[in-house]
Amino acid sequence: MNDDNTMAGISAITHLGPTPMDELQVRLYLDGISNGVLRVDHRGLINNATGSVVACMDRLPEPLRLLQHGDITDMAELESPYLPGIQCDAWIREMAESFGMISPFVPHQRKTNQQGEKILSYGLSSFGYDARIGPEFQICTNENPGILDPKADANFAWRSVKADTCILPPHGFALAHTVEYFKIPRDTLVVCLGKSTLARLGLIVNVTPLEPGWEGQVTIEISNTTPLPAKIYANEGICQFLFFRGSNCSVSYKDKGGKYQGQTGVTRARV
């Protein structure tokens, strides 16, 4: 936002009254401070050009008050009303709907299909997002001899399955992918946990962290720890993602050209 637009927005919401600020007002004030149009001193928020008070000190939210003492130097700390740490449903919804962090996005827990039948739930939860598994699987087999080597291609080891269900053999291992495409902000790290129902059947879901700046469909690793075959249902819930916010990182996954950036479908290990 340029200085003229910043001041036009600020003049329209000059805030001397008793009502609390809304998010739009705070964002406009942050733009003004970032652009040098505004400053904070003992009186409150000050217009640098005229010296007049734009918002009295007792009307400012706590983070803006701290600016008068220099306690906050990184403007990124003030750009969101949400505290650092694990993020709640409101933040996840805002980031998904406004910035495309999760697509497609379901803003509630969905527990039945269109026919009213029970399914493994997916969608937004209190402090996370339950993702769906897509209808594409790569099952690891021993049909061809060889060694799984992280430094070499292992095409010999996989059998592809595209179906609404997948039977994972006893002690078997498979790769799959999320229906959802994720775009992770550069101040956020995402970790994944399995769903309780699957864990109680011996199905262990493993996903390595989604790093700041990464985007793509998530490749999911599934292990059947039991001596019995296990059924996996495509387009139903498979795991829950938790979002942890901190400060903006200096180098994101995108910045360093990570080899899994922008992946779609099942992506096997790359050398």
User: Looking at the structure, do residues 46 and 115 belong to the same domain, yes or no?
Assistant: no
Tell me the catalytic residues: 221
Q: Which of 126-140, 149-163, 174-188 has the lowest mean pLDDT?
A: 149-163
Average pLDDT of the chain is 85
Q: Is the pLDDT of residue 4 over 60?
A: no
pTM of the model: 0.71
**Is residue 210 included in any domain, yes or no?**
yes
Write down the pLDDT at residue 24.
Answer: 60
Q: Which of 94-98, 163-167, 247-251 has the lowest mean pLDDT?
A: 247-251
User: Looking at the structure, do residues 106 and 77 belong to the same domain, yes or no?
Assistant: no
Write down the pLDDT at residue 73.
Answer: 43
Write down the pLDDT at residue 144.
Answer: 83
Q: Is the pLDDT of residue 13 over 90?
A: no
User: Looking at the structure, do residues 104 and 72 belong to the same domain, yes or no?
Assistant: no
Write down the pLDDT at residue 27.
Answer: 65
Q: Which residue has the higher pLDDT, 80 or 54?
A: 54
User: Looking at the structure, do residues 61 and 106 belong to the same domain, yes or no?
Assistant: no
Domain total in the chain: 2
Q: Is the pLDDT of residue 198 over 50?
A: yes
**Is residue 207 included in any domain, yes or no?**
yes
Instruction: Render the chain in DSSP notation, one character per residue.
Output: --HHHHHHHHHHT-B-SSSPP-HHHHHHHHHHHHTTSEEEETTEEEETTT--EEEEGGGS-HHHHHGGGT----GGGGS-SSPSEE--HHHHHHHHHHH-SEES--SSEEEE-TTS-EEEEEEEETTEEEEEBPSEEEEE--SS-----TTS--GGGEEEEESSEEEEPTT-EEEEEEEEEEE--TTEEEEEEE-HHHHTTTEEEE---B-TT-EEEEEEEEEE-SSS-EEEETTSEEEEEEEEE-SPPSS-TTTTT-TTTTB-S------
**Is residue 260 included in any domain, yes or no?**
no
Integer Cα distance of 146 and 140 in angstroms: 12
User: Looking at the structure, do residues 52 and 116 belong to the same domain, yes or no?
Assistant: no
Asked whether 179 and 234 are in contact (CB, 8 A), the reply is: no
Q: Which residue has the higher pLDDT, 31 or 96?
A: 96
**Is residue 269 included in any domain, yes or no?**
no
User: Looking at the structure, do residues 72 and 96 belong to the same domain, yes or no?
Assistant: no
Work out the average pLDDT over 36-52. 81
pLDDT band of residue 154 (cuts 50, 70, 90) is confident
Whole-number percent of the chain with pLDDT over 70: 80
User: Looking at the structure, do residues 27 and 157 belong to the same domain, yes or no?
Assistant: no
User: Looking at the structure, do residues 125 and 239 belong to the same domain, yes or no?
Assistant: yes
User: Looking at the structure, do residues 64 and 192 belong to the same domain, yes or no?
Assistant: no
Write down the pLDDT at residue 240.
Answer: 98
Model pLDDT for residues 91-123, shown as the tens digit of each residue = 999 899 988 999 999 999 999 999 999 999 999
Write down the pLDDT at residue 170.
Answer: 97
**Is residue 160 included in any domain, yes or no?**
yes
Q: Which of 3-12, 52-61, 180-189 has the lowest mean pLDDT?
A: 3-12
Other Cβ atoms less than 10 A from the Cβ of 158: the count is 18
Return the CATH number at 204: 2.70.40.10
User: Looking at the structure, do residues 43 and 154 belong to the same domain, yes or no?
Assistant: no
**Is residue 262 included in any domain, yes or no?**
no
User: Looking at the structure, do residues 131 and 167 belong to the same domain, yes or no?
Assistant: yes
User: Looking at the structure, do residues 114 and 234 belong to the same domain, yes or no?
Assistant: yes
Asked whether 123 and 129 are in contact (CB, 8 A), the reply is: yes
Of 22, 55, 81, the residue at which a domain comes to its end is 81
Domain that holds residue 217: 86-245
pLDDT band of residue 16 (cuts 50, 70, 90) is very low
**Is residue 255 included in any domain, yes or no?**
no
Integer Cα distance of 32 and 39 in angstroms: 8
Q: Which residue has the higher pLDDT, 16 or 34?
A: 34
pLDDT band of residue 145 (cuts 50, 70, 90) is confident
Q: Which residue has the higher pLDDT, 155 or 261?
A: 261
**Is residue 264 included in any domain, yes or no?**
no
Q: Which residue has the higher pLDDT, 127 or 59?
A: 127
